[in-house]
């Protein structure tokens, strides 16, 4: 059936927030109006843009006559609301008001979805409207739709990847240009990658929110931000980056969501975000700057890999516009997007169940017998050693050495107990770092 844009009334689109992503979405709605109309079957009429300040400097593509500070009135007058202001409130109330008034919602707000997704789903379901959020995970990369729809007939076992552009940019800059964390964060902010408060990026909250969203979709189970075991990148030092390189690795902030079974045979899911040593020849090691990559392992599909721009105004606008076209087509032609799928209701397991190889870096006395004392503590917890590397160094008058131990795969709980015991040995001056190895 040919779509005839002129014969149907336009759809009224409201945009909430006109920052990095909002401006790019507005640009494309304005400059690509004819093409979008042809794809949807009617025009997408931008009826208002909710902003904080009417006087702020803006890109010339933004029609000042469309600006309003009354977001509440705007959402009640639209067919589709595109929420790009971020944060929890007032975004949450506005999205709920929009859904309650029968508007479809497209949002990029991972923080809100990870905190209150079920409430939003329920409101969308009650009103019989669409809630789409492709931009909320990994920017331009189509990953929400593949997990939510394309893999709906398969069993996802594991998702693994780099889902925060800012921290990847920062770690990449620290590794390749020797920048310090603060400098690199400033650059990421200037490039439009960082959250309004970049603490969300560097402390891992943003990646954890994305991991929660993906895990919920993949495992048909509600996983919220608080269920994600999270470590950010702020404790990483230039020495960590250098040691990663010396041992043939690259440091990446990885999100992992996987099905797991406890020693007692209880099935559940594990979701975590943590700095991880990625072998230099692994495809994830080559993910540079603000790019993201997600691996999905599914029972029938096998391994899938998704790669692309995970942050930035223009790339993210691609995902937003894709959603906008989908929900608009439903309005025009009928049909509806998926509702929440949480029937599996798997428990989120304790992080101690997570299994990985680990690299433990210690500063020890450089004298005979030290290695055997340390090795004995690992053996006591049944943590087996894959390799040991000892590098002498002179600190002041004392001879000390750096000991880098890589373990075979072991439960996090056992590694934690081992590290505590090792730290208490008199010959161990300091446990400098404990990092999982991919
Ligand atoms: N920047 C990026 O690369 C990506 C951002 N996102 C998400 O997209 C959303 C927007 O992000 P950005 O555009 O980067 O943020 P931003 O901070 O550049 O833009 C947000 C805009 O919303 C406005 N705003 C905030 N509260 C408001 C209110 N109560 N009323 C009216 N306007 C209000 C702010 O003044 C600002 O102009 C966030 O949820 C973010 O997590 C998602 C993927 C990528
Ligand atoms: N701040 C986020 C933006 C995209 O989601 C990031 O850096 O990935
Ligand atoms: Na995406």
Question: pLDDT digit string (tens) for 168-183?
Answer: 999 999 999 999 999 9
In three-state secondary structure terms, 432 is: strand
Which numbered ligand comes closest to the C-alpha of 147?
Answer: 3
Which residues on adjacent β-strands are paired with residue 365? 400
What is the C-alpha to C-alpha distance for residues 311 and 251, in angstroms, rounded to an integer? 19
The DSSP code sequence of 45-87 is EEEEEE-S-SSS---TTS-GGGEES-HHHHHTT-SEEEE-S-S
166 C-beta closer than 6 A to ligand 2: yes
Tokens of 295: 């691996």
DSSP symbol at 436: E
Q: Pocket of ligand 2, candidates 84, 201, 210, 290: which has the most ligand atoms within 8 Å of its Cβ, to mutate?
A: 201
Please answer whether residues 44 and 25 qualify as being in contact, where contact means their C-beta atoms are separated by less than 8 angstroms: no
Which numbered ligand comes closest to the C-alpha of 50?
Answer: 1
What is the C-alpha to C-alpha distance for residues 154 and 67, in angstroms, rounded to an integer? 45
Residue 47 alpha carbon to ligand 2 centre in Å:
28
Q: Pocket of ligand 2, candidates 311, 315, 317, 319: which has the most ligand atoms within 8 Å of its Cβ, to mutate?
A: 311
Which numbered ligand comes closest to the C-alpha of 83?
Answer: 1
In the chain, where are the structural domains located?
Answer: 11-139+314-333, 144-309, 354-437
Residues 68, 73, 78, 83, Cα dihedral to 10°: 60
310 C-beta closer than 6 A to ligand 2: yes
DSSP symbol at 140: T
pLDDT at 394 over 90: no
pLDDT the model gives residue 1: 47
pLDDT in tens, 39-53: 999 999 999 999 999
pLDDT in tens, 281-292: 999 999 999 999
Question: For every residue of 281-308, which 3-state class applies, written as one string?
Answer: CCHHHHCCCCEEEEEEEECCCEEEEEEE
pLDDT the model gives residue 393: 73
pLDDT the model gives residue 25: 98
Complex prediction ipTM:
0.99
Domain boundaries 354-437, corresponding CATH code? 3.30.70.260
203 C-beta closer than 6 A to ligand 2: no
pLDDT at 297 over 90: yes
Pairing of the two strands 410-411 and 355-365: antiparallel
For residue 290, give the ligand 1 atom closest to its CA.
3
Residue 261 alpha carbon to ligand 3 centre in Å:
29
Residue with CA closest to ligand 1 atom 43: 139
Neighbours of 132 (CB within 10 A): 27
Pairing of the two strands 80-83 and 104-107: parallel
Residue 428 alpha carbon to ligand 1 centre in Å:
47
Residue 337 alpha carbon to ligand 1 centre in Å:
24
Percentage of the chain exceeding pLDDT 90: 92
For residue 201, give the ligand 2 atom closest to its CA.
1
Mean pLDDT score of the chain: 95
Q: What is the pTM of this model?
A: 0.96
- Domain range 144-309, its CATH number among 3.20.20.10, 3.30.360.10, 2.30.180.10, 3.10.129.10: 3.30.360.10
pLDDT in tens, 43-93: 999 999 999 999 999 999 999 999 999 999 999 999 999 999 999 999 999
Q: Pocket of ligand 1, candidates 23, 59, 85, 111: which has the most ligand atoms within 8 Å of its Cβ, to mutate?
A: 85
Phi-psi region of 178 (alpha: psi -120 to 50; beta: other; left: phi over 0): left
Which residues on adjacent β-strands are paired with residue 293? 162, 307
pLDDT band of residue 392 (cuts 50, 70, 90) is confident
pLDDT the model gives residue 127: 97
- Domain range 11-139+314-333, its CATH number among 3.30.365.10, 3.40.50.1100, 3.60.15.10, 3.40.50.720: 3.40.50.720
What is the C-alpha to C-alpha distance for residues 23 and 35, in angstroms, rounded to an integer? 19
Residue with CA closest to ligand 1 atom 14: 20
- Provide residues with CB under 6 Å of ligand 1: 17-22, 50-52, 71, 84-86, 90, 108-110, 135, 139, 192-193, 195-196, 311-312, 316
In three-state secondary structure terms, 40 is: helix
Which residues on adjacent β-strands are paired with residue 109? none
Pairing of the two strands 398-407 and 355-365: antiparallel
- Catalytic residue positions? 210
What is the C-alpha to C-alpha distance for residues 147 and 152, in angstroms, rounded to an integer? 7
């Amino acid at each position: 059936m040919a779509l005839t844009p002129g014969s149907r009334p336009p759809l009224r689109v409201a945009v909430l927030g006109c920052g990095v992503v909002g401006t790019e979405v507005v640009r494309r709605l304005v400059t690509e109006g004819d093409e979008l109309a042809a794809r949807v079957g009617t025009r997408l009429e931008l009826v208002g843009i909710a902003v904080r300040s009417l006087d702020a400097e803006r890109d010339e593509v933004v029609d000042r006559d469309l600006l309003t500070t009354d977001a509440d009135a705007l959402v009640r007058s639209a067919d589709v609301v595109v929420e790009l202001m971020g944060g929890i409130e007032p975004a949450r109330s506005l999205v709920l008001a929009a859904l309650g008034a029968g508007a479809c919602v497209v949002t990029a707000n991972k923080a809100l979805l990870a905190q209150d997704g079920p409430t939003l789903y329920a409101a969308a379901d009650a009103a019989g409207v669409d809630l789409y959020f492709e931009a909320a995970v990994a920017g331009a990369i189509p990953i929400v739709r593949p997990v939510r729809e394309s893999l709906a007939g398969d069993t996802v076992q594991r998702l693994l990847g780099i889902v925060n552009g800012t921290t990847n940019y920062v770690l990449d800059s620290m590794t390749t240009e020797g920048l310090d964390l603060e400098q690199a964060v400033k650059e990421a902010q200037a490039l439009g990658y960082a959250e309004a408060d970049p603490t969300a990026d560097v402390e891992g909250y943003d990646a954890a929110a994305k991991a929660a969203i993906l895990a919920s979709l993949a495992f048909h189970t509600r996983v919220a931000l608080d269920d994600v075991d999270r470590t950010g990148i702020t404790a990483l030092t230039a020495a960590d980056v250098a040691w990663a390189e010396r041992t043939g690795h690259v440091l990446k902030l990885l999100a992992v969501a996987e099905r797991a079974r406890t020693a007692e045979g209880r099935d559940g899911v594990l979701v975590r975000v943590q700095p991880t040593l990625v072998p230099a020849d692994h495809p994830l090691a080559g993910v540079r700057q603000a790019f993201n990559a997600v691996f999905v392992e599914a029972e029938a599909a096998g391994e899938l890999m998704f790669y692309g721009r995970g942050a930035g105004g223009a790339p993210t606008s691609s995902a937003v516009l894709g959603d906008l076209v989908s929900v608009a087509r439903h309005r025009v032609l009928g049909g509806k997007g998926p509702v929440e799928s949480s029937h599996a209701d798997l428990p989120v397991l304790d992080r101690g169940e997570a299994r990985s190889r680990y690299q433990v870096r210690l500063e020890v006395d450089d004298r005979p017998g030290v290695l055997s004392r340390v090795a004995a503590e690992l053996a006591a917890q049944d943590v087996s050693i894959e390799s040991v590397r000892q590098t002498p160094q002179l600190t002041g008058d004392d001879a000390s050495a750096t000991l880098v131990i890589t373990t075979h795969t072991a439960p996090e709980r056992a590694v934690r107990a081992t590290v505590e015991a090792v730290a208490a040995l008199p010959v161990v001056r300091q446990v400098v770092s404990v990092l999982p190895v991919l």
